[in-house]
């Protein structure tokens, strides 16, 4: 039997990364590592957090058809490598992709059985506060991410499920229930 392909998307600050990491650990779903052209943040490790690629390298891989999906997000390329998805699903493993909304729709088009889960903060005010509290991004980057959040929220209706993340444990449990359905 094929594994399930779960896509988790939502604005930066929606808590999707933390929830996805916890759920992956609990359900023992291996990590799918994306490639990106953005610079590593302090503490991020190449091959663990992302495969950090030069733009030219990323574009060559697009041409070679190495990506299952990719998109330009906040001015940088992000993409899921084919090898992170196809062989795993075919061998019966579940895969969780934490990717942006453009990527989510590409996945849905490729695989109609993919389960799309949209994460959001309870309000824009709370989202803004969370992004400020993270202290990982500059003011300009935060502004850009908030503007993008508004656009991303328009994609919620294309998703199969929404998780409003006002409590991490509750959000994780909701995601687990969706996966186990
Ligand atoms: P960050 O720079 O904060 O790590 O990620 C920024 C955005 O890129 C997030 O919305 C994240 O979900 C998205 N992202 C990460 N990896 C991928 C990927 O492989 N494909 C797509 N389409 N988006 C990704």
pLDDT digits (tens, 9 = 90+) for 88-126: 999 999 999 999 999 999 999 999 999 999 999 999 999
Rounded CA gap, 174 and 41, in Å? 29
Summarised one tens digit per residue, pLDDT across range 5-53 is 999 999 988 999 999 999 999 999 988 999 999 999 999 999 999 999 9
Compute the distance from residue 2 Cα to the ligand 1 centre, in Å: 25
pTM: 0.93
Please provide residue 62's backbone torsions phi and psi, each rounded to the nearest 5 degrees: -60, -50
Among the listed ranges 20-29, 131-140, 162-171, which one has the minimum average pLDDT value? 131-140
Is the CB of 29 within 6 Å of ligand 1? Answer: no
**pLDDT over 80 at 136, yes or no:** no
CA–CA distance from 130 to each of 31, 115, 143 (Å)? 24, 27, 13
Please provide residue 162's backbone torsions phi and psi, each rounded to the nearest 5 degrees: -120, 135
Predicted pLDDT of residue 13? 87
Q: Which of 18, 73, 107 to mutate to test the pocket of ligand 1 (most atoms within 8 A of CB)?
A: 73
Is the CB of 68 within 6 Å of ligand 1? Answer: no
Asked whether 35 and 51 are in contact (CB, 8 A), the reply is: yes
Is the CB of 95 within 6 Å of ligand 1? Answer: no
Q: Is the dihedral of CA 8, 36, 76, 44 positive or negative?
A: positive
Determine the atom of ligand 1 nearest the C-alpha atom of 103: 22
Is the CB of 115 within 6 Å of ligand 1? Answer: no
Looking at the chain, list the stretches that DSSP marks H as alpha helix, in order from N- to C-terminal side.
16-27, 55-63, 86-90, 101-110, 124-134, 139-153, 168-180
- Tell the residue nearest (CA) to atom 12 of ligand 1: 99
CA 159: distance to chain centroid?
13
């Amino acid at each position: 039997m094929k594994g399930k392909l779960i896509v988790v998307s939502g604005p930066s600050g929606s808590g999707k990364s933390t929830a996805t990491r916890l759920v992956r650990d609990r359900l023992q779903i291996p990590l799918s590592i994306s490639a990106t052209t953005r610079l590593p943040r302090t503490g991020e490790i190449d091959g663990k957090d992302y495969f950090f690629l030069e733009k030219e390298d990323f574009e060559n891989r697009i041409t070679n058809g190495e990506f299952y999906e990719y998109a330009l997000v906040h001015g940088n390329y992000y993409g899921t490598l084919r090898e992170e998805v196809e062989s795993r699903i075919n061998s019966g493993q579940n895969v969780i992709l934490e990717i942006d909304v453009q990527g989510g729709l590409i996945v849905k088009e490729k695989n109609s059985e993919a389960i799309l889960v949209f994460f959001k903060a309870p309000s824009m005010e709370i989202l803004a506060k969370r992004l400020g509290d993270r202290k990982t991004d500059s003011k300009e980057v935060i502004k850009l991410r908030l503007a993008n959040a508004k656009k991303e929220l328009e994609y919620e209706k294309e998703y199969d499920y929404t998780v409003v993340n006002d409590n991490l444990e509750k959000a994780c449990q909701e995601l687990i229930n969706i996966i186990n359905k």
